Amino acid sequence: MKRIFLYGLGTVIALVALVVVALRVPVIQDIVLERGANAVVSGDTVDLSDPDALTLIFCGTGGPFPDPERAGPCTLVAAGGRVFLIDSGTGGAQRLQQLRVPMGTLEGVFYTHLHSDHIAGLGDIAMNSWAAGRSAPLELYGPPGVEGLAKGTFDAFGIDSKSRIDHHGAAVFVPPAQEIRSTAFVVASRDESLVVMEEGDLKITAFKVDHVPLENAYGYRVDFKDRSVVFSGDTVKDTNMVRFGADADVMVHEVMGMANIHTIIGALQDNGLSRQAKILTDASEVHTSPVDAAEIANEANAELLIYNHIVPPMPLGVMEDIFMRGVSDVRSEGVMLGYDGLQVRLPAGSDEIEVGGL
């Protein structure tokens, strides 16, 4: 028995050694690369053309901190063939490409507010969607200041844009699509909402949330046919999410893992990093804990709550347990941690919520 085992083990080792040696032979390396390249380029892209569903693709579920698992705030909304982003966080464009999302279909970006982590990926979004075939100007919607974001990004990428047209030709990089347009709007008060877009079966409504010291920080409600999703943007626990997110099929709510954050603040203080400790303490006062977000979702009667803008990064598994502590006491089902690549599909004329990963 022992001898048979040793023979078997010897065969496996010999095969592994053969593969290792073979992979160093140039002609075999070329074959492997050719097959790999074909497999990648012939793979299906995500279909965003469904005329009868509201679809979400999470292209960034992190916040401002470096997180190898999560890009900055970025959520794609597709409804009846229309395609928009909510925010364009750092790394969102790269994540969309990894997820094989056809970026050329992107029409525009709705900004919840203009903090750096929510806007910093715009240049990459604009350039990569243009390269992927977007043929109309990119449209930005958001609070006052979005005009400067559009113009500043357009100007900063001016040399790049010109070189693309010069290099690849106007038939490939269609010149009008280099333009970045903007529509700034103000929601008059906390008690009102503002319909920002209403076209066909799609309605996008903005409302104010509390993210001091910003005067204009918005949540968005997206309604398509009989389905709906509400986005909190960045906010403290805010009853406006209950009011304007009432009966939404999906609530995408920002969260800060307060228990984790307070431990990190303590470590910063213990190590004499008072500047970083102050910034993190200030930040912890303008966000929402997972338990508070669960209470909001309950009060709003939202069917599924998805945690988003997940801060801090959680490199240790134990941090996720600490992050979720107390949530199941408040909301035992219909709650999940968002992740990059998460896809949620809401077919019209049904109550179904299809959740999958890309």
State CA 99 to chain mean position distance: 12
Q: Which stretch binds Zn ion (CB under 5 A): 116-124, 180-188, 236-244, 291-299?
A: 116-124
Question: Of 234 and 340, which has the nearer Cβ to Zn ion?
Answer: 234
Q: Find the shortest distance in angstroms from Cβ 114 to Zn ion.
A: 9
Q: If we measure between CA atoms, which residue out of 95, 100, 94 comes closest to residue 40?
A: 100
Q: Is 234 in the site for Zn ion (CB under 5 A)?
A: yes
> What strands lie across the sheet with 227-231, from one edge to the other?
193-199, 202-208, 218-224, 227-231, 250-256, 304-311, 335-337
Question: Of 102 and 233, which has the nearer Cβ to Zn ion?
Answer: 233
Q: Which of residues 51-70 bind Zn ion (CB under 5 A)?
A: none
Given the residues 117, 124, 249, 340, select the one marked as catalytic: 117
Number of residues this chain uses to bind Zn ion (CB under 5 A): 3
CA dihedral 325, 326, 332, 333 (to 10 degrees): -50
Question: Of 177 and 209, which has the nearer Cβ to Zn ion?
Answer: 209
Q: What is the DSSP letter of 46?
A: P
Question: Of 73 and 137, which has the nearer Cβ to Zn ion?
Answer: 73
Q: Rounded to an integer, what distance in angstroms lies between the CA atom of residue 33 and that of residue 27? A: 10
Q: Find the shortest distance in angstroms from Cβ 357 to Zn ion.
A: 23
Question: Of 64 and 137, which has the nearer Cβ to Zn ion?
Answer: 64
Q: Rounded to an integer, what distance in angstroms lies between the CA atom of residue 62 and that of residue 64? A: 7
Q: Is 87 in the site for Zn ion (CB under 5 A)?
A: no
Angle between helices 274-284 and 258-270 (to 10 degrees): 160
Residue 334's Cβ-count burial label (10 Å; 0-12, 13-18, 19+) is middle
Q: Find the shortest distance in angstroms from Cβ 135 to Zn ion.
A: 31
Angle between helices 317-324 and 258-270 (to 10 degrees): 120
Question: Of 139 and 234, which has the nearer Cβ to Zn ion?
Answer: 234
Q: Which stretch binds Zn ion (CB under 5 A): 4-12, 156-164, 227-235, 346-354?
A: 227-235
Place of tokens 């877009």: 197
Q: Is 287 in the site for Zn ion (CB under 5 A)?
A: no
Question: Could you give the residue ranges of the DSSP H alpha helices within the chain?
Answer: 2-22, 26-41, 92-98, 116-119, 122-131, 146-156, 158-168, 240-244, 258-270, 274-284, 290-300, 317-324, 327-330
Q: Given candidates 67, 87, 117, 223, which one binds Zn ion under the rule CB under 5 A? A: 117
Q: Which stretch binds Zn ion (CB under 5 A): 133-141, 233-241, 271-279, 346-354?
A: 233-241
Q: Rounded to an integer, what distance in angstroms lies between the CA atom of residue 315 and that of residue 204? A: 35
Q: Which stretch binds Zn ion (CB under 5 A): 1-9, 113-121, 146-154, 267-275?
A: 113-121
Q: Find the shortest distance in angstroms from Cβ 90 to Zn ion.
A: 11
Active site residue 50: no
Q: Find the shortest distance in angstroms from Cβ 59 to Zn ion.
A: 15
Q: If we measure between CA atoms, which residue out of 348, 356, 214 comes closest to residue 283?
A: 214
Q: Which stretch binds Zn ion (CB under 5 A): 99-107, 148-156, 223-231, 234-242?
A: 234-242
Q: Find the shortest distance in angstroms from Cβ 118 to Zn ion.
A: 6
Q: Rounded to an integer, what distance in angstroms lies between the CA atom of residue 322 and that of residue 314? A: 10
Q: Find the shortest distance in angstroms from Cβ 309 to Zn ion.
A: 6
Question: Of 55 and 216, which has the nearer Cβ to Zn ion?
Answer: 216
Where b means 16+ CB within 10 Å and e means fewer, 263-287 reads: ebbeebeeeeeeeebeebeebbebb
Q: Given candidates 95, 115, 225, 287, which one binds Zn ion under the rule CB under 5 A? A: 115
Residues labelled catalytic: 117
Contact positions toward Zn ion, by CB under 5 A?
Answer: 115, 117, 234
